[in-house]
Amino acid sequence: MNASELKQGDTAMIHHVEFSGLRNKLIEMGCFEGNKIKRLYTAPLGDPIAFDINGYILALRKEEAKLIEITLKKIES
């Protein structure tokens, strides 16, 4: 499963970023293995998508979100 498939409001754990020209950039922005990611908002027409990454908002295009492999995780209240 990748981050673009995450449902609005759901939180997941990042476990891998696919190799591409943007891999290091995405990791630098906080999408590293073990960090939490939550889908916050979706722009009109479904793209781009805004995520909460450890307390800040990061907007990514769908294409970039697809590079982020995640595992769904139960939300702790």
Rank residues 55 and 74 by Cβ distance to another protein and give the closer one: 55
Number of residues that make up the chain: 77
Helices vs. strands in the chain: H and E counts, helices first: 2, 5
Q: Which residues pair with 38 in a beta bridge?
A: 11, 52
For tokens 């960090």, name the residue.
35
Q: How far is the CB of 16 from another protein (least distance, A)?
A: 10
Q: How far is the CB of 34 from another protein (least distance, A)?
A: 7
In the complex, which residues of this chain contact another protein (CB under 8 A)?
A: 17, 19-30, 32-35, 40-45, 47-48, 50, 53-61, 63-64
Rank residues 37 and 58 by Cβ distance to another protein and give the closer one: 58
